[in-house]
Structure 1
Amino acid sequence: MIGERASEVSGTMTAHAERELTVEHWLLSAARDAETARAEWASHGVALLRCGSTFSAIRISASVVHQAAGTETPEAVAACLNAALEGEPAFLDRYAKRYYLLTSRSAGTLGWCLPNTERLGFGGYVGVPSVRIRQSGVTRAHWVVPVESPGTLCRPEFVVRLGIAGGILGARSTVSARLTPLEESRA
């Protein structure tokens, strides 16, 4: 019985490690030099990756995300983002106080104009945390909603939903607007 459980745990850990490695390789396809990026992840926990080929990124103020979540508590914000983004990837740069949502390279190419956000596309760079960094305080940036598989990206409408809940579109900025728009737009 113990041997079966150990084998099951080992298999789960192996599958998780393989998934992380696959996601890491996918992210590295956005690096100018994969070995340099890998070294940056090893020494600093964050690597500078190019936007516009593998993915683009939407940078959004932490205050907007906290307004949408109705809290600044990391666990509650993570749960809110995970629900609002339906598990699609986001990370926090705690020094810059900005969240980054990875989106398709074509997202917002015709003009991104959501207040308190910025689209980083072709020609832009973003400091992306290692896929292994999933908790605050280890490095300057960490995954709040980790990338679960290569190519998993946020849909722009989720960013707009988050903006509405965070009050940046002026649609609603009361307490009732916090999580309600996130849930209503799924219905």
Structure 2
Amino acid sequence: MPPRTRNPGSEWLALSAPDPAEIHREWDADQLAHLPSGRLWLAVETDFLRSVDAMQRIGPDRLGPVLVYPSADLAWWLVPCGAEEALADLGRLTVHPAGWMLRCPPAERRLAVDRWFLSTVPDRSRVREEWEKHAIALLPCGALFAAVRIPSFLGQAAAGTDEQAAVDRYLAEALMGPVICDRHAGQYYALVPASTARRWGVPGSVCLGVGQDLGAPRPGLLFEEGARVYWSVPMGSAGELCSPGAVAQMVMAGRSMVVARG
């Protein structure tokens, strides 16, 4: 396996250890590295679902490093050393002491996104194989995400154009989260928090939740590659999802435009 292209996030994480080179060797071998807390950061442990909600509220521009383990319903927020007192009175948080070991992947965004999607299934090799052979794999909705299915004509109406690249740009600006396009079926799928499916009721769209599967293209697969199903808006960071309110507003705007045209 060729060495990874390193990024500043991974370099910073590796400096947590006495031997950063050993950390990079473990990551190059596709292994999780053991990083000790207390040198550059402390790890605050809490449950995953609360963390997803908090990350959505904070937003990607203000969010610091967070490691998630969805199948175990755990997340670890990396906070400055000395933050114990500020967090002492908050319930359902565990601030691990200096020297506690965090098993951690590198910070490469694409790798993190891949692993986030793979954590939804017990058989990760099956998904990897399907992505490799077919560029698309079935993933279950309802645990990490739900998917709002939107007819393409509503997306085009809201965007004011049927030119594919222009619609993709509009969706990126309007929804600010991952969107899948199935060109042959004429559908968009906006990925939203899993809890959205329980309360979704926007006419002209359907929210896929627990017990339903989504055909997800290989992370990073774009329109230019000619795939039938591709990422109209790729996931920028692991766990970064569309705002349900923004999706609802876009669907309603598209319906209004369709009605106005008669």
User: 1:137, CA displacement in angstroms?
Assistant: 5.2
Q: 2:196 aligns with which of 93, 98, 107?
A: 107
5 Å matches for 1:120-159? 120-136=208-224, 138-159=226-247
Matching residue of 1:23: 113
How many residue pairs were aligned? 160
Q: 2:152 aligns with which of 42, 62, 69?
A: 62
**Structure 1 CA distance, aligned partners of 2:164 and 2:129?**
28
**Structure 2 CA distance, aligned partners of 1:145 and 1:55?**
16
Give the partner amino acid of 2:241: L
Provide Cα deviations, 1:54-89, integer angstroms capped at 9, x if missing partner.
Answer: 11111100010000011111121011101111x211
User: 1:138, CA displacement in angstroms?
Assistant: 3.0
SS at match of 1:144: strand
Percentage identity across aligned positions?
36
Aligned 8 A contact 1:23 1:131 in 2: yes
**Structure 2 CA distance, aligned partners of 1:92 and 1:172?**
20
Q: 5+ unaligned residues in a row in structure 2: which ranges?
A: 11-106
Aligned 8 A contact 1:89 1:145 in 2: yes
**Structure 2 CA distance, aligned partners of 1:138 and 1:36?**
23
Matching residue of 2:126: 36
**Structure 2 CA distance, aligned partners of 1:137 and 1:96?**
18
TM-score, with length taken from structure 1: 0.78
User: 1:173, CA displacement in angstroms?
Assistant: 4.2
Higher relative contact order (CA 8 A, sep 6+): 1
SS at match of 2:198: coil
**Structure 2 CA distance, aligned partners of 1:31 and 1:99?**
23
TM-score, with length taken from structure 2: 0.57
Aligned 8 A contact 1:165 1:173 in 2: no
Which has the larger share of strand? 2
Aligned 8 A contact 1:30 1:49 in 2: yes
Q: Which has the larger radius of gyration?
A: 2
SS at match of 2:194: coil
Give the partner amino acid of 1:103: V
**Structure 1 CA distance, aligned partners of 2:135 and 2:219?**
9
Provide Cα deviations, 1:84-127, integer angstroms capped at 9, x if missing partner.
Answer: 11x211010112110001111101413x2222211110101000
Aligned 8 A contact 1:88 1:147 in 2: yes
Give the partner amino acid of 1:94: R
Aligned CA-pair RMSD: 2.3
Give the partner amino acid of 1:160: A
Matched, 1:90 2:169: no
Matching residue of 1:71: 161
**Structure 1 CA distance, aligned partners of 2:158 and 2:259?**
9
Aligned 8 A contact 1:50 1:126 in 2: yes
Matching residue of 1:184: none
Q: 5+ unaligned residues in a row in structure 1: which ranges?
A: 1-9, 176-187
Runs of 4+ in 1 over 3 A off after TM superposition: 170-175
